[in-house]
Structure 1
Amino acid sequence: MKYDTSSFPRVPVFCIDSKSFYASVECIRRGLPPLETFLVVIGDASRSGSVVLAASPPMKKNFGIKTGSRYYEVPRDPRIHVVEASMSTYLEFSISLPRLNVCTSTALMRAFFATIQVCMEPIFRRQE
């Protein structure tokens, strides 16, 4: 069955992996480059069995830590940032994203994250 989609609005859509998104937001909050920083977002730092809710791409690539890993599996390495989740921040950040064109190159993604960091600074200041 075919549907006539000609009457649907045509708008740019930007898709984000919401799990890595948490890690990216935490990097941006700290002024760190999301594509280069070792960072994990966990549920509860006081529990060694706490679940990793998000891991930055370098954590996945270099340490094999991904969503669903446990906190005790995260290596004790001074380069790794361990952050407790802040769901209200992620929600506010995601609904505040402007409509964007899809970008796929690393250079464009870095520019995107730098722009978002500047745009979202007022939100981060309110939560401190």
Structure 2
Amino acid sequence: MTQLIYGLVDMQSFYASCEVASREEYAARRKEFDDSTDPPLVVSGDPARRSGIILAATPTAKRYGVENTLRLGEALRLYPRLIVVRPHMAFYLHVSIRIQMLMQQCFPFQEQFSVDEGFIAFPSPSNLFPDPIAAARNLQAGQVRDCV
């Protein structure tokens, strides 16, 4: 009997991850699947006025107690050396669309839930997905041709 296997794709610290990956000074030092190599970066409002809330924080920043929705001034008190980046929403939407397109190539049933989340479903057992866990790992690694 064929059943559907469901999965959630949640892009951790998405805005902050986009900023780290797009900046050569940070991306060059980053190791894949090792969050400890990310800088203590947050995406927030105006760094000069110390205003706004944290929209996203890297896992490194979170280790200092900096969480999403914390006020920027409070976050800077927790860790004064935070790297504060203003949001670039058009860029995040562009990256999100590209990731969602990859998901659509890999999985026949895909639904975007938000800018950084989506659901996938696929039949199992199936010739397309003999190993569902391997298909999900290949998607995570960006190996689209290896998803199916």
TM-score range, shorter chain: 0.5 to 0.7
Aligned match for 2:9, one of 14, 19, 33: 14
Secondary structure of residue in 2 paired with 1:96: helix
Residue matched to 1:86? 88
How many aligned residue pairs are there? 97
Q: Distance in 1 between matches of 2:6 and 2:65?
A: 36
The root-mean-square deviation of aligned C-alpha atoms, in Å, is: 3.1
Unpaired runs of 5+ in structure 2? 107-134, 143-148
Cα offset, 1:44, TM superposition: 2.4
Scaled by the length of structure 2, the TM-score of the pair is 0.53
Mapped partners of 2:45, 2:7: distance in 1:
33
> Which ranges of structure 1 fall in alignment gaps of 5 or more residues?
116-128
TM-score w.r.t. the length of structure 1 is 0.61
Q: In the alignment, which residue of structure 1 is the partner of 2:17?
A: 24
Structure having the higher strand fraction is 2
**Secondary structure in 2 matching 1:22:** helix
Q: Sequence identity of aligned pairs in percent?
A: 31
**Residues 69-118 of structure 1: per-residue CA shift (max 9 Å, x gap):** 111122222xx321000001000000011226433xxxx96xx4xx6xxx
In the alignment, does 2:44 pair up with 1:51?
Answer: no
* Distance (whole Å) between structure 1 residues aligned to residue 93 and residue 51 of structure 2: 25
Partner deviation per Cα, 1:7-27 (whole Å, 9 max, x = no partner)? x8x89763324xx10010000
User: Whose radius of gyration is greater, 1 or 2?
Assistant: 2
1:102 equivalenced with 2:136 (yes/no): yes
Shift in alpha-carbon separation, 1:44–1:102, aligned structure 2, 3 A = farther
- From 68, 74, 80, give the equivalent of 1:76: 80
